[in-house]
Structure 1
Amino acid sequence: MKVNIFDVAKKSGLSVVTVSRVLNHSTTVRANNRDKVLQAMKDLNYQPNAAARSLALGRTGIIGLTVTTLDDSFLDRVVKEVNDRLTEQGYFLAISVHSPDAEAIHNPLFQEDRVDGLILLSPLHEEMYVRELEKKKIPFVMLDNQLDNPLVPSVIVHNRKGGYDAARHLIDLGHQRIAHISGPDPFLSSREREIGFRSALEESGLEPFCIERGEFTVSSGYDIASKWLQSDNLPTAIFAADDHIALGVINALQNAGVRVPQDISVVGYDDQLIASQLHPKLTTIRQPAEKIGRHGVELLLSWILESSRPEAKRAFQFEPELIIRQSTARVNG
């Protein structure tokens, strides 16, 4: 005979309501009761029917995730963590790669009854998203968002500290002629990394050698470094706002016979997969992709399962980590 929820309740010595709450990942169940239910399920080899459970709850069992690009191994790691955590909880992940210029209203995931909730990964035009999702009463969480909105559940990285740590590392190696290639201005992460960079230099009584506005691309780093090479006026160290920019910088320098790190040290940001595969391997600032994805899922499921919006007095913020590899060294001479 097939085991059902009533058998689990009887085996655990708890009510059917409590068993149902455990199955639906409610946070209101006491830990010892949750353990009793899980043990009873294991003893009875009970496998809940996810489709039937979703139907009974008026849910789809699908979580949507929208992102502007997947050509980025940092974002890939966030997406993988989100998918793994949702799979553990019996949800399917639907991904939409949505142009930053497109209107939220045209995104198929931004429709009632399509998904139980949405994760917005590194979104632009956030106010449009927030307005549309709140109007349709779709639970949502923003990861790596660009605006400081205290009313929106969000998970970010302390980018200001990341920029500070990158500059501090170069200063500690004796560098004084330190340049920065920032990311696009619309990104909060770009602005925060630059603020941190400037703060570390100011603290040491230094002025930036140069600050250039770039894009998060290899070609952007290559073009800016090539311009410096043509002027024959080079810094001794460069902090690039992401690893793709840093890769372009290193390519330009090496093509011109400038050695990294013997002549110029280079620091990137993100710890993309390629950072540990470069020659020399790239010193960079690692963003905790797995923590970002995991906490984003926890926030969203809390909203969905408890039917109440999580408190969002401020964004939940994780610390970045300086990863020292081969592309930085003490200043030459």
Structure 2
Amino acid sequence: MNIHDVAKKSGLSVVTVSRVLNHSPSVRESNRQKVLKAMEELNYQPNSAARSLVRGKTGVIGMSINNFNDSFYDRVIRVVNRKLTEQGYFLALSIAENEDEGDNFLFQKDRVDGIILLSPLEEEASVEELKRKNIPFVLLDNQFQHEDVPSVVVDNYQGGYEATKHLINLGHTQIAFIGGPSVFLSVAERKRGYSQALEEAGLTSFGTDSCGFTVSGGYEVAKRWVREDKLPTAFFCGDDFIALGVVQALRDEGIRVPHDLSVVGFDDQQFAGEFYPRLTTVRQPEAQMGSIGVDLLMQLIHGEVMPPAVTKLAPQLLVRESSANVRLT
């Protein structure tokens, strides 16, 4: 079966059938339905490669990520994939890890119609390459602000502020912060929110530290603080993996969470609500981030006028079992 058979079956011209296949808005709805009915009766499946050649499009959207070891990434990808599928696009993933993102195999116009960069590490190099190759792209959870590039980020400052304010409202005055690697803007913003909440309450930081976004990193930091005998009444951890490591280290030392010491995380990883004590944390609106990212990219691809470059989303504090009123001695 081919396009001529569909035209004959529907009683319409080959041109009209072609317009229906290419989603042209100029086709009358009655004619569109005739073509679709003829295709169904003939069990006609249009060749996607041939259609791409005609339209000058690949039907593929690329997404570059660093790893899968994070349920935040997983939730963003699922939303992006679902929205793209609804619009007739196929999602192709590229896992950059430690490779030079400038060599990303998806960064070619004959391979994709657009690119989504999720939490890029070599961000500036990728932005320059995509601009040079004139490939439509958007940034999600990026580190730097680019006035001419659409991006969707979470208000990490607000998240850090609300997490710390929650602990202050529970009566804690000795609150420490353990963040991730300093290369990430999100880490600096969460720490800035922590500092602002303390300042407004007339408090000073009990202390700050940093490690990788890992359970072992949080475990080692907490163990060191225990050895140095300088424990606060509450830890705000800039990541759930770090928070889990802190809880495990404290448990090993016979320190009960939240009875003796409160712990708050960030991200709402999948495990956060599944281990004991269930973790109080700050959830990032990953579904909203993925959905808006796709909408922005589609606007770029279709040549529509773009909104302001940066879309900032509000996080949500989820109060569970790992935080409680300060224990009075």
Q: TM-score, normalised by structure 1?
A: 0.87
Is 1:95 aligned with 2:93?
Answer: yes
SS in structure 1 at match of 2:172 = coil
SS in structure 1 at match of 2:117 = strand
Structure 2 residue runs without a partner (length 5+): none
**For 2:327, which of 316, 319, 332 is the aligned residue?**
332
CA contact 2:6–2:17 (8 Å) conserved in 1: no
Structure 1 residue runs without a partner (length 5+): none
SS in structure 1 at match of 2:181 = coil
SS in structure 2 at match of 1:300 = helix
Is 1:204 aligned with 2:177?
Answer: no
* Shift in CA distance, 175/116, structure 1 to aligned 2, threshold 3 Å: same
Is 1:165 aligned with 2:162?
Answer: yes
CA contact 1:222–1:248 (8 Å) conserved in 2: yes
Name the residue aligned to 2:84.
86
* Shift in CA distance, 261/131, structure 1 to aligned 2, threshold 3 Å: same
Identity, in percent, stands at: 47
Per-residue CA deviations over 1:68-87 (Å, capped at 9, x if unaligned) read 11110111110111111111
For 1:247 and 1:148, the matched residues in 2 are separated by 31
- 1:110-125 to 2 correspondence within 5 Å? 110-125=107-122
**For 1:153, which of 145, 150, 154 is the aligned residue?**
150
For 2:284 and 2:28, the matched residues in 1 are separated by 33
- 1:60-79 to 2 correspondence within 5 Å? 60-79=58-77
Per-residue CA deviations over 1:128-170 (Å, capped at 9, x if unaligned) read 1111011111111110000011111111111110000100110
Name the residue aligned to 2:308.
313
1:50 positional shift: 6.8
Larger Rg: 2
1:37 positional shift: 8.8
* Shift in CA distance, 83/177, structure 1 to aligned 2, threshold 3 Å: same
1:20 positional shift: 7.0
CA contact 2:218–2:244 (8 Å) conserved in 1: yes
For 1:175 and 1:329, the matched residues in 2 are separated by 9
SS in structure 2 at match of 1:93 = strand
CA contact 1:286–1:322 (8 Å) conserved in 2: yes
Name the residue aligned to 2:105.
108
For 1:40 and 1:328, the matched residues in 2 are separated by 62
1:81 partner letter:
V
For 1:107 and 1:252, the matched residues in 2 are separated by 39
- 1:271-286 to 2 correspondence within 5 Å? 271-286=268-283
